[in-house]
Amino acid sequence: MNTNNHILYVDDELDNLTAFNAVMRRHYTITTASSGEEALELLKKQEFSLVISDQRMPKMTGVELFEQVKNLYPDVIRIILTGYSEVKAIIDSINMGQVYYYITKPWNVDELKVMIDNALETYRLKKDNKELKDEKTELLVKTARMEKEQVMAHFEILKSQINPHFLFNSMNILSSLIPKSPKLAVKFTSQFSKVFRKLLENNEEITIPLQQELDFIKSYLFLQKMRFDKSLEIDVKIEKTKLDKYLPPFGLQLLIENAIKHNIISEEQPLKIVISNDGDYLQVQNNLQVRGQQEESTGIGLKNLTARYNLLTDMPVVIEESVEFFTAKIPLIEDV
């Protein structure tokens, strides 16, 4: 059954119901009701495109019926029939029932059919428009889901670069320690296994609390101090209120590693790294004393960190360099 042509006709006079059904059933699917109460019960059970009601009926007038229909079934088109020229009833039908048309009795078949066809077309357009809106909403949801999946896939690729990157640099440190201090190399290896275990645990996360990153950094810096001793100075001064903010795993470690990799570190020229917060940014600043010959680099560090942040926030990674200092700032964000 085509519900787009389904009409409910309401009238308390049996002759009018019979006449309407006889004339219109060739063109439309007609259901009749002899009262407003009966009409409301029928509306609960099936979908109608159009309700046509007489105005003057006992217990419930056409306007009173349409006022309820408007609230319960706002998409249904409403036409009211009135057998007398009462301006107030017509005004009420428009204001209270928000009728599509009003028709005075006796109605002309051809004119009524034109009005019904127009009303049914209006209902069809309203329904199509609603379906299009629903489809648009569904497409937007699907698009957002797909974009998120693509972002997460990209993020996983970026994260997968971190472990080899950390391993590569740690092996470089170990290889430099073996000929200089075999005992220290053995101790480094033992501590490195503990640090790498923590790294594997954190690497499952997209973001971690700053406090958790700082706990990891303590272990990481222990390894670095084994290598550089007093030539490396680290000062951490972060507001407690920022410790529950989030950042990508190993974001801070990458910045510290970057400073160690590219600067001279010796007893005569110690490297001083200050870790602090500048508003909602985590700041890592070091005195600038660039090596003449750089350590071999994979080129992952800052590029990887910037790429990960681009997937998490609109806040940029900030890099500043002066004659005396190199400063890197990364956003502290809410959990994702």
Q: Which residues contact 168 (CB under 8 A, 6 or more apart)?
A: 298
More confident residue, 133 or 165: 133
79 and 225 housed in the same domain: no
Burial 82-108 (b: 16+ CB within 10 A, else e): beeeeeebbebbbeebebbbbbeeebe
173 and 305 housed in the same domain: yes
- Write down the mean pLDDT value for the chain: 82
Q: Tell me: the pLDDT tens digits for 104-160?
A: 777 778 888 888 888 888 888 878 777 777 777 777 776 666 566 555 545 554 555
* Residue whose token pair is 């290889």: 175
308 and 260 housed in the same domain: yes
Rounded to an integer, what distance in angstroms lies between the CA atom of residue 177 and that of residue 162? 23
Rounded to an integer, what distance in angstroms lies between the CA atom of residue 97 and that of residue 45? 21
Structure tokens, 162 = 């971190």
81 and 170 housed in the same domain: no
Residue ending a domain, choose from 86, 111, 132: 132
Residue 312 lies in a domain: yes
* Count of structural domains within the chain: 2
Residue 228 lies in a domain: yes
Residue 142 lies in a domain: no
φ, ψ dihedrals at 244, nearest 5°: -95, 5
At residue 97, the pLDDT reads 54
78 and 173 housed in the same domain: no
126 and 204 housed in the same domain: no
121 and 169 housed in the same domain: no
Q: Tell me: the pLDDT tens digits for 56-101?
A: 888 898 888 988 998 899 888 888 877 655 556 566 656 555 676 7
Rounded to an integer, what distance in angstroms lies between the CA atom of residue 54 and that of residue 9? 8
CA 311 to mean position of chain CA atoms: 13
Q: Tell me: the pLDDT tens digits for 176-212?
A: 778 888 887 888 787 778 777 776 676 667 888 999 8
166 and 294 housed in the same domain: yes
Q: Which of these, 213, 216, 211, 226, lies nearest to 196 by C-alpha position? A: 216
165 and 313 housed in the same domain: yes
% of the chain residues with pLDDT over 70: 81
Q: Which residues contact 43 (CB under 8 A, 6 or more apart)?
A: 8, 51, 69, 72, 73, 76
Q: Tell me: the pLDDT tens digits for 259-281?
A: 988 899 999 999 999 999 999 99
Q: Is 32 helix (H, G, I), strand (E, B) or coil?
A: strand
Amino acid of residue 41: E
The CATH number that applies at residue 77 is 3.40.50.2300
125 and 223 housed in the same domain: no
Residue 153 lies in a domain: no
Which structural domain range is residue 197 located in?
Answer: 161-331
The full DSSP string for 177-241 is HHHH-HHHHHHHHHHHHHHHHHHHHHTT-S-EEHHHHHHHHHHHHHHHHHHHGGGEEEEEE--GG
238 and 301 housed in the same domain: yes
φ, ψ dihedrals at 113, nearest 5°: -65, -40
Residue 148 lies in a domain: no
Residue 47 lies in a domain: yes
The CATH number that applies at residue 239 is 3.30.565.10
CA 183 to mean position of chain CA atoms: 53
99 and 178 housed in the same domain: no
